[in-house]
Copies of this chain bind each other. A is one copy, B any other.
Amino acid sequence: MSSQRYKLIVGYRGTAYHGWQWQYAAPNWKGPRPPTGLGIPTVQQELKKAVQHVVLHPVNLVGSSRTDAGVHAKGQVVHFDTPLSQIPADGFRRAINHALPDDILVHTLEPVDSNFHAILNTASKRYEYRIHNALDRQVFGHDLAWHRWHPLDTDAMAVAAERLVGTHDFMSFSKAGHNRETTVRTVLECSVRREGAEVLVGVCGTGFLWHMVRIIVGTLVEVGLGRYDAERVGEMLAARDRRAAGATAPAHGLYLDWVRFGAARDRKSPADDAE
């Protein structure tokens, strides 16, 4: 029986979820799986339930990015296969959305070639990190941005961010225990801009290490507070030591913005891009 692959662009508020899927220690952990019956669902579980509710057969969902607990997504990309054909895409999308909780939404759904793979075809990804930089916290959306009330010097942060653009060894900006063959990654954009009380950090790259964006943001914030000079970022990269960089910013300010696709790459581990 022939099968049809579908590509979905999915948004979610990560607050109530244990991330895209259960993670235990490093993303490519080979040991026993963690208990999954603790009552906190994953986004993948909820989406799988909703899709299965519509197609009435088990599906295997593959997501581009294994976002951590509390991390949000505007454009997570997911694929799955179904032997069903002739499903009108718009009705299919709306039926899935109807079965989903309010904080997960399928923005688009389209049939794609069976060669498409949400992880293996990833060419680049963009993350955005939102900092609420004002004296008082945000009452409506305290879980959607990191509140830092000390004034941040965004000019200094932007200078430091620029130093991270390019191909570097990001070992200092990676959570220990990553078990990767290489910690060299290419950052295409690392920008800082202010919009009123919000400071937005954008990081785009061809691949990321675990917690890499959150450690970049934590480091940039320390630069913005005047604790480090922007020039120190080069030394941090050279140190190849997690302790050289700043603290890890909390999950609730991070958004997977979008994923772009190209030809399939030779990837050692499909779990490479956990964030």
Residues on A close to B: CB < 8 A? 11-13, 72, 97, 102-105, 107, 136-137, 139-144
Chain B residues, Cβ within 8 Å of A11: 139-140
* Pairwise interchain contact A141-B141, C-beta atoms closer than 8 A: yes
Which of the listed residues A72, A107, A139, A141 has the most CB atoms from chain B within 10 Å of its own CB? Answer: A139
Q: Are A139 and B12 in contact (CB under 8 A)?
A: yes
Q: Which residues of B contact A72 (CB under 8 A)?
A: 140
Bound CA–CA A139/B17 (angstroms) = 13
Question: What chain B residues lie within 8 Å of A144 (beta carbons)?
Answer: 140
Contact A139 B103 (CB under 8 A): yes
- CB-nearest residue of chain B to A74: B139
**What are 23 A-B contacts with C-beta separation under 8 Å?**
A11-B139, A11-B140, A12-B139, A13-B139, A13-B140, A13-B142, A72-B140, A97-B136, A97-B137, A102-B137, A102-B139, A102-B142, A102-B143, A103-B139, A103-B142, A104-B139, A105-B136, A105-B137, A105-B139, A107-B136, A140-B141, A140-B144, A141-B141
Whole-angstrom distance between the Cβ of A132 and the nearest chain B Cβ: 11
Chain B residue nearest in CB terms to A90: B135
Which residues of chain B are within 8 angstroms of A102 by Cβ–Cβ distance?
Answer: 137, 139, 142-143
Question: Assuming A102-B137, A105-B139, A107-B136, what are 4 further A-B pairs, CB within 8 angstroms?
Answer: A13-B139, A104-B139, A140-B141, A141-B141
Bound state CA distance, A162 and B139, in angstroms?
32
Chain B residues whose C-beta falls within 8 Å of the C-beta of A105 in the assembled complex? 136-137, 139
Measured between alpha carbons, how far is A143 from B13 in the docked complex, in Å?
Answer: 12
In whole angstroms, how far apart are the Cα atoms of A102 and B143 in the complex?
9
Distance in Å from the Cβ of A229 to the closest Cβ of chain B?
31
Separation of A252 and B142 alpha carbons in the complex (Å):
17
**C-alpha spacing A138/B13, complex, angstroms:** 10
In the complex, which residue of chain B has the Cβ closest to the Cβ of A136?
A: B105
| Residues from chain B with Cβ under 8 Å of A103 in the complex | 139, 142
